[in-house]
Amino acid sequence: MDDNSYEAFVESLGLDGDSMEAALKSAPEPLVEEGAPYEVKPSEIHGKGVFATKDVDGYIGILKRDEWYELGRYANHSATPNAKVNILNDKLVVYGKVKAGEEITLDYSLVKEMVELQESILVVDDFCDQIEMVIASAKAAGFSTWRPNKGEVGTSVYDGMGFWGHHALMLRNIIPAVGDVILPNSMFFRVTNEGMEKAYIHSDRESGNWTCVAYLSEHEQPYGTAFYRHKPTGLIEMPTFAEMKEMGIFEELKEDMVSRDPEKWEQIGYVEGKYNRALIFYAPLFHSRYPLEGIGTNEEEGRLVWVSHFFKLDGYGRLY
């Protein structure tokens, strides 16, 4: 039995084959995705499987949103899968290249990791009912270049920053979304235009445990936030600086974060920027604005976001 087997996956959940079968039997029926290019039928790998009903090269279907879909329930494990899992907005979805009749397989250890990732990302549409007032407050205050001390990783020049505005409205709307009292470390607006410094692939770990990005602009081209896996280390979250130094990967990671070399980074998620949509995520995750370049040439055309780095507060007064 290799570590990647179905049995190993079941064991990692603290179950054995029988209790797994029982858990699956008592689970609610999976959702059916209308028009999906697959069917569920008996598999030679294990129980039921998911089989392509036509040739597909790209999007196959939804694995999980709040609930599991058939693809999530029935796709069998393979150590050499023909499909892989990705985040799209608030959904876990599957991409792959499969021929009609072929069984669609996934690597369960990656599925497990991606389920955790999806659960640490929250997408809230119609985030703030006074968003126009917020945007007006940011534009009235204006944007300029911020020159902080360069930290261990990062830049010493941030263009298009605005610090003044109706930040209280963001906090008021994050609280019901996350279901906790929150305490912010920072709050700002940022407009990015063509020609400004390109985004790094980075983590917000040093800024707080959670990040909220609210998208305040609309564009014809797709824009948003992308999440990444660092291919050489397999990491999807940035360890602390101390941990990276101890692991001997600090210099390598720093170089790769700045280079954004596609050979070093696999994009594992994308949340589309939509007017008045907020993305709230676990801050250590590797991410970057998408596209890396800004948009338009002035404040009106630019990619405008409203950001807070924050902690949640538990019942004992501890930040987490």
- Which residues sit at the interface with Fe ion, rule CB under 5 A? 204
Least distance from Fe ion to the Cβ atom of residue 287, Å: 6
Rg value, the chain, Cα: 21
Residue closer to Fe ion, measured from CB, 104 or 117: 117
Least distance from Fe ion to the Cβ atom of residue 309, Å: 8
Whose tokens are 């696999």? That residue is 266
Cα 193 to chain centroid, rounded: 23
Least distance from Fe ion to the Cβ atom of residue 295, Å: 17
Least distance from Fe ion to the Cβ atom of residue 135, Å: 20
Between the two ends of the chain, the Cα-to-Cα distance in Å is: 38
Task: Give the number of residues written for the chain.
Answer: 320
Closest chain position to Fe ion (CB): 204
**What DSSP element (H or E) covers 279?**
strand 277-282
Residue closer to Fe ion, measured from CB, 107 or 204: 204
Q: Which is nearest to 114 in space by CA: 217, 240, 234, 15? A: 234
Residue closer to Fe ion, measured from CB, 64 or 205: 205
State the pairing for strand pair 76-77/105-106: parallel
DSSP code at position 113? H
Q: DSSP secondary structure string, 209-226?
A: SEEEEEE----SS--EEE
Residue closer to Fe ion, measured from CB, 64 or 289: 289
Residue closer to Fe ion, measured from CB, 49 or 294: 294
Least distance from Fe ion to the Cβ atom of residue 203, Å: 7
Least distance from Fe ion to the Cβ atom of residue 306, Å: 13
DSSP code at position 78? -
Least distance from Fe ion to the Cβ atom of residue 174, Å: 16
Residue closer to Fe ion, measured from CB, 30 or 284: 284
Q: Which is nearest to 66 in space by CA: 22, 110, 125, 123? A: 123
The CA angle 259-147-296, to the nearest 5 degrees, is 65
Residue closer to Fe ion, measured from CB, 264 or 289: 289
Per DSSP, the three-state class of 73 is: helix
